[in-house]
Amino acid sequence: MPQGGKYREVDMPGLREKRCSLSEAASLIKDGTRIAFGGMSVHNHPMAFIYELIRRRIRDLTIVGHVSADDVDILVGAGCVKKIEISYVGLEEFGLAPNFRRAVENGEIELAEYSEPVAFERFQCSARGQSFFPTREMLGTDLPKYNPDIREMVSPFDGRQCHIVPAADPEWVVLHAPMGDQYGNVLFFQNRQLPEDLDLIASRAARNLIVTVEEIVDRNKVLRLSHLNQIPRFRTTAIVEVPYGAHPSSCLQVYDNDREHLKMYARVARDPAEFKKYLEKYVHGVKSHMEYLNLIGLERLMKIRRVGGNL
C-alpha cells in the first residue's frame, strides 16, 4: 500500500502491482531470447539486471541494439550471447570493447551490423508495427555483403536503388530509468536526449517490457508529475527498484558513469583470466545488488552523483 492510502479515482479494485525483485524479473528471460537493453554508449544501461542474468547463467541471447558498451561486452565475456544486431560496441573514451573484440576475432558470436541511424530506425519501425523500411545510407558499404537482412530494392515511386532492412522486433526490452510506480508507470526527466528518447522508442517496440528504476515513487507523485510519465503502465510487464542500477554506466541526471571503474574494466577485460576474476568479484561473488554497491563503496557512489541533473 502506498503512503497516503488509495487514490480512489485512479486505483481501481484489482489494479495489478508489477513491482518485483531483480531475480523475479530476470527469471522471465529464458535462454535463446531475442532481447534489447536500454541505454546508449556508456549511459543508462540496466547493468544490475544484466549482472543478474549472468548470475543465472543465461545462454544464447540474441541482442538487438544500436550503440552498446560494457552492457554487451560483459554479457559476451560471460558467454551469454549467441548473436548481436548492432552498429557499435565500444567503450567510448576507454577504447575498444575487449570481450566483444575477442569473441568476434575468435568467431564465437554471430553479427548483423547496421549503420547507427538505421539501427535506431529499426526500433521505430517495430513501434509503428511495420516489418521493414527502406534506406539509402548504407549504399556502397560492405555491410550488405555480410548481413543478409540488408536487401536490395528499387523504389516503385522514384525508381532509385535502395536497401530494405527488417524491424528490430525484440521479444523483451529491459530499460533503466529514474523513477516509476508500483503499477509500471515510468517517469523520465523533462530534459531528455538521445539515450532517453531511444529508450522510450524501445519501450514502444517491445512485446514485453521490464524496467528497473532508481526509485519506486509514491503513486501520488506520478499523478502530480503526469507530464513526466513517458511509459504508461499497460506497457510494463515488471518494474524493479534498483538504486544505482545502471552502475558503472550512468543514469543520466541522477549520476554520471563511473569513469574510474570503466577504465579499470577496459584494462582487466583485455585478459581473459583477469576478466574472470572481475566477474567472480563483482557479479558471481555478490549475493545482492546492495552487496555490489558496498563493494563499489559509498565514496565512489557519492562522487558520481549529480543531484537534479540538468533539471
Partner 1 sequence: MNAEFTRYEVMAAAISRELRDFENWFIGLATGSTTILLLSRIPIAGMALAQHTHAPNSFILVAGWLMNPVPSEIPTGMESEFGTLLRDWRCEGWGNILLRAASPERGEIHVGFGSAAQVDKYGNCNIVCLGDYRKPKVRLIGPINQPGHFSLFGREIIVIEHEKRNFVDKVDFISGVGYLDGPGGRERLGLIGGGPCIIFTDKAIFDFDPDTKLARLKSIHPGVSLNEVMEHTGFTHDYVPDSVPVTPLPTDEEIRLLREVIDPRGVLLPR
Helices 272-279 and 98-105 pack at an angle, to 10 degrees, of 130
88 binds partner 1 (CB under 8 A): yes
CB of 56 to partner 1, least distance (A): 27
DSSP code per residue over 84-128: EEESEEB-GGG-B-HHHHHHHHTT-SEEEE--HHHHHHHHHHHHT
197-236 footprint of partner 1 as x/- string (CB under 8 A): xx--x-----------------------------------
CB of 154 to partner 1, least distance (A): 11
For partner 1, the binding residues in 125-154 under the rule CB under 8 A are 136-143, 145-146
Residue linked to cell 568467431: 107
For partner 1, the binding residues in 279-308 under the rule CB under 8 A are 306
Cβ atoms of 69 and 92 closer than 8 Å: yes
Cβ atoms of 286 and 295 closer than 8 Å: yes
CB of 164 to partner 1, least distance (A): 15
195 binds partner 1 (CB under 8 A): yes
Residue 79: how many CB atoms within 10 A of its CB? 16
**Of the listed pieces 25-33, 106-114, 232-240, 278-286, which binds partner 1 according to CB under 8 A?**
106-114
Q: Spell out the alpha helix ranges (H) of the chain.
A: 22-26, 47-55, 70-77, 98-105, 116-127, 143-146, 194-205, 219-224, 259-268, 272-279, 289-296, 298-304
Would you call 301 exposed, middle or buried from its count of C-beta atoms within 10 A (0-12, 13-18, 19+)?
Answer: middle
194 binds partner 1 (CB under 8 A): yes
Q: Which is nearer to partner 1, 202 or 239 (CB)?
A: 202
Q: Which is nearer to partner 1, 115 or 237 (CB)?
A: 115
Cβ atoms of 89 and 73 closer than 8 Å: yes
d(CA 251, CA 209): 18
241 binds partner 1 (CB under 8 A): no
Q: How many residues bind partner 1 (CB under 8 A)?
A: 57
95 binds partner 1 (CB under 8 A): yes
Q: Which is nearer to partner 1, 59 or 101 (CB)?
A: 101
Site residues for partner 1 per CB under 8 A: 40-43, 67, 86-97, 100-101, 104-105, 107, 113-117, 120, 136-143, 145-146, 160-161, 191-195, 197-198, 201, 250, 252-253, 256-257, 259, 306, 309-310
